[in-house]
Homo-oligomer: A and B are copies of this chain.
């Protein structure tokens, strides 16, 4: 069975009884597994991680919208995290037996149903974007809920689905498809934050580096270690090993070495298998040779 992951971000992180309702709405849908959820009170935001095939994921997403719209009113919502809607962002991610095209189709299908069922404007983003100007979530979300009515009235910001005005309490939602993110940090054997920042600038896309890397230099104050903190947004096109080797090379230019690296949260096995293939210079390998894949075929 194909496996797609969805990571809806909802604008509620403070009321446990509402969060419990959202969890119940997702878990009531057969064929969907809620792998994880976490809530942040200062962000006033919750993130859910669910997996399943397209049809049950669509049903769970619609159930989540229904519960969220019943309980969340952005006119009285505040929090540190920028947000445009009650259900702020819903990405679909291909994991196994599903392609990016499947996830783009699912994003469109869900967006159309959400718009119709809840009379809610929906923007498509990332791989599902209808226009390059809408690929980046930050560009769509700029102005937030409070600036949404004015933004929607300005040229170029008609939604992809739904009405041309914000939903009075739920704003608008951003739905799309993207590759799995890998949160990857490399710790340097130095306390020089300037070195970590220079490496981050060299490696990240926004300042001339690798296409699918977001990076910044940060200080691990408790250990007095400088860190290059990264998000790898497409591990197939910008693989982990190339990022690691580039950071290592840039660090050497300052006489600095790599202390260790760190994978935060989940990582697709394909990202690590490709790394092993690279360093072992393996030729002619295929995923069917991995014993566990064979067992589950």
Residues of A within 8 A of B (CB): 3, 5, 33, 35, 51, 95-96, 180, 240-241, 244, 258-263, 265-269, 272-273, 275-277, 279-285, 289-296
Contact = CB atoms under 8 A, between A and B. Distances in A.
Contacts of A268: 290-292
Given A281-B258, A295-B95, A289 B276 contact: no
Contacts of A258: 281
Main secondary structure on chain A at its contact with chain B? mixed
B276 A290 contact: no
B241 A263 contact: no
B291 A263 contact: no
A35 B275 contact: no
A20 to B, nearest CB: 23
Contacts of A269: 269, 273, 290-293
A95 B280 CA distance: 23
Contacts of A292: 95-96, 268-269, 292
Given A35-B295, A51-B295, A295-B95, A290 B261 contact: no
Contact of A289 (B35, B180, B263): B263
A294 B266 contact: yes
A140 to B, nearest CB: 27
Of the listed residues A180, A289, A292, A296, the one surrounded by the most CB atoms of chain B closer than 10 A to its CB is: A292
Contact of A280 (B240, B282, B284, B289): B240
A283 B220 CA distance: 15
Contacts of A267: 289-291
